[in-house]
Amino acid sequence: MAAVAKPDRIDTFSTIHNWESADYEPTLPVSEKSNPLTRHIDRAPASSIVKMLQACDAEMFLEKSQTQYQRLLSEEMVKTLMEVAERVRLILKDPQDSLVVLSGCGTSGRLAFFMASGFNRELQRLNYAPVYSYVIAGGDRALFSSQEAPEDDPTLGALRLKKVSEGKKRVLFVGVSCGLSAPFVAGQLDFCLRHPDVYTPVLVGFNPAHQARNEPIPGCTLTFHSVVTRMEELAKTQKAFLINPGLGPEAISGSSRMKGGSATKILLEVVFSASFSRTPVTFNLILQHMRSYEKALDFTYSHSQEIAALMEAAGRSLQCGRQVCYLGWGSLGLLGLIDASECKPTFGADHEDIRGFVSGGYKELGNNEGDLTLMGPEFSISHDDFLDGVLPRLTDDDTVLLLYSDSDDIDKVAKLAHRVREKTSNIHAAYHQTAGDAAAKQDDINKLCSSTIIFTWPQETPERLQHLRELSTKLLLNAVSTGAHIFKGKVFKNYMIDLQVTNSKLYRRAARLMQKLSGHSESECEEALLKAIYQVDKLSEDIATCSLETHTHTAGKAKKVVPLALVCLLSGCSIKEAESRLEQQPIVRKAVEACLKSS
Ligand code: F1P
């Protein structure tokens, strides 16, 4: 990775202090604040969007903080990572009776699976017994489809943890909740705190402890905040660990799949890799490893023009109602599946809009519940499924992106590329190779593609190289899917305007967004939201007194809830009228803007 220029003139420092100052959106935790860097991302051309994303991602590694926030590279953070790595090392020595459990909801749960299976494979390669397990809220179907509701259930979280760790004498539990907010994870942490003889809890998230969510959880005396406070006390004697650096607000407000997901991957990989090392875990070892990810980030964005071109191609497909398909190999393919599945809750996307497929399908994944194909079309994830179900319908309006590297079977990639090329010229590739090892056959694939981003990495140990390539692929895919949805009008300023309202966090986020954009009171906004959820112009007593759980459950069956609610609220029209306005103007941003102008 050659030295790479930083993005030109998005002044990171002056804006950083903006969001860090105590009076910047003071009622919101960092993970929900809006990022000053991306205020105009909804109107920016692709090249500027990529620059904004780069500047936002670079905030993860900023060291200096004049305020309260711990950072990824803070001394205290590095020391905590060293301590956790030592705990993992103890578990590796006693695989029979010990376990590391990774758990989370949505993206955090998907990454828990991604890393648990990746590190178990690595252990097997080194002739060790596997010690990693994962728990994702909603079970394996949540790996590839949006299942937001189980996130609200602390009892379910605790039960799943208990089940997966049955009979073990020592368990290191790593709960990930980027916003320090998911009740599912709070329930698990509480379970650990009540069974300290077996469980040591580690919490990964990206807000300072005092910003942990303090909303009461129905049927339960806990809040996320109360659990964190207990953990803080135990952290003083290393009976619990908090890994919660501030990363700065997400590029799209609240979209923790972006920086939150990337930092989760970085932190846990650094810890687990360090625990494998034969030499003692040192401060510098951890710090250097983190810095290698920073370089990988800069290196990825040194391809910003190519990333922007890909974003435009994907945007064109979505704008004309067509599809984007990621066809990947190995862990890069899995990242494609993850990125695609996040688009539904974030942008109100249909599962057909952006789809991922991985070579080998479920055989490649080794997930807890095995082959899920029979659960429905969303769960068809292999290249064969793509060939059977998608290829016959492909046209030049669809975008196909191949994700592969020099460690994959290039002949197989070429074969699939040929098949796709027969149906569409809109085929692109992101290819990772190592300097000095360029594969000649890869040229044939290039010729079939209308663009190829070639990432040429310096020599590294194979595991580390793979982790860096994965981060790079994640950043690329997040940029492509976010940019494409911006072009489709699913982002207003830097807010997700068509988010799903399928759990309590998303419901509150939607209500807050409506207040912010409309200037109406909290109760007026919530009323409009409920009308859109239940598709009625007048709220009955019954609806008004239903639980939040019923609201979010019902919201799962409706489409465009937030845009509908906003159009009704701003123009005073009926739900039917709002529906027809949104049909005439499917660019949600423009429909809402039109209402804002005339209100
Ligand atoms: C979990 C999560 C996100 C998802 C969506 C809903 O958040 O499921 O992964 O993208 O925003 O919430 P967290 O518990 O990691 O903060």
Q: What is the pLDDT of residues 273-308, one digit of tens each?
A: 999 888 889 999 999 999 999 999 999 999 999 999
**Residue range 504-531: mean pLDDT, rounded:** 95
Superfamily grouping for domain 75-244: Glucose-6-phosphate isomerase like protein; domain 1 (3.40.50.10490)
CB 108 less than 6 A from any atom of ligand 1: yes
CB 177 less than 6 A from any atom of ligand 1: yes
Higher per-residue confidence, 67 vs 348: 348
Same fold, 75-244 and 497-597: no
Query: Which residues make beta-bridge pairs with 354?
Result: 324
Return the DSSP state at 25.
Answer: S
pLDDT category of residue 18 using cuts at 50, 70 and 90: confident
The predicted structure's pLDDT at residue 105: 97
Integer angstrom CA distances of residue 248 from 34, 182, 292, 302, 393: 9, 19, 20, 22, 42
Q: CATH class for domain 497-597?
A: mainly alpha
pLDDT digits 0-9 by tens, 126-181: 899 999 999 999 999 999 998 888 999 999 999 999 999 999 999 999 999 999 99
Residue 520 tokens read as 């109406």
Assess whether pLDDT exceeds 90 at residue 10.
no
The predicted structure's pLDDT at residue 326: 98
Average pLDDT of the residues of the chain: 94
Residue 201 tokens read as 């809890």
**Residue range 230-255: mean pLDDT, rounded:** 97
Residues present in the chain in total = 599
- Give nearest CA residue, ligand 1 atom 2: 106
**Residue range 252-259: mean pLDDT, rounded:** 98
Pocket perturbation via mutation, ligand 1, pick of 28, 178, 506 by most ligand atoms within 8 A of CB: 178
The predicted structure's pLDDT at residue 570: 92
With the C-alpha atoms ordered 483, 488, 490, 491, is the resulting torsion angle positive or negative?
positive
Q: At residue 200, what are phi and psi to the nearest 5 degrees?
A: -115, 120
Instruction: Compute the chain's Rg from CA coordinates.
Output: 23
Architecture of domain 299-489: 3-Layer(aba) Sandwich (3.40)
Residue 214 contacts residue 223 (beta carbons within 8 Å): yes
Task: Select the highest-mean-pLDDT range: 21-25, 527-531, 593-597.
Answer: 527-531
Element at 575 (helix H, strand E)? helix 575-584
CA 402 to ligand 1 centroid distance, Å: 27
Residue 343 contacts residue 485 (beta carbons within 8 Å): yes
CA distance linking residue 247 with residue 67, whole number of Å: 13
The predicted structure's pLDDT at residue 438: 64
CA 180 to ligand 1 centroid distance, Å: 10
**Residue range 301-318: mean pLDDT, rounded:** 98
Cα atoms in the Cβ-side hemisphere of radius 13 Å centred on 179:
28
**Residue range 378-395: mean pLDDT, rounded:** 97
Integer angstrom CA distances of residue 113 from 109, 174, 322, 365, 473: 6, 12, 30, 9, 17
CB 328 less than 6 A from any atom of ligand 1: no
Q: What is the dihedral of CA 306, 311, 317, 323, to 10 degrees?
A: 100
| Amino acid sitting at position 589 | R
Total Cβ atoms within 10 A of residue 79: 12
Strand ranges of the sheet holding 354-358, from the earlier edge strand across to the other edge: 354-358, 324-328, 399-405, 427-434, 451-457
- Give nearest CA residue, ligand 1 atom 4: 106
CA 178 to ligand 1 centroid distance, Å: 7
Cα atoms in the Cβ-side hemisphere of radius 13 Å centred on 468:
27
CA distance linking residue 536 with residue 516, whole number of Å: 23
Report H helices in 424-574.
Answer: 442-448, 462-487, 504-518, 522-534, 541-544, 548-555, 561-571
Within 8 A by CB and 6+ apart from 239, the residues are: 196, 200
**Residue range 247-255: mean pLDDT, rounded:** 97
Assess whether pLDDT exceeds 70 at residue 426.
yes
pLDDT category of residue 65 using cuts at 50, 70 and 90: low
Residue ranges per domain, the chain?
75-244, 299-489, 497-597
Integer angstrom CA distances of residue 482 from 24, 152, 318, 496, 500: 25, 26, 11, 10, 16
pLDDT digits 0-9 by tens, 567-580: 999 999 999 999 99
**Residue range 529-549: mean pLDDT, rounded:** 95
The predicted structure's pLDDT at residue 200: 98
Q: If 0-12 CB within 10 Å is exposed, 13-18 middle and 19+ buried, where does residue 278 land? A: exposed
CB 182 less than 6 A from any atom of ligand 1: yes
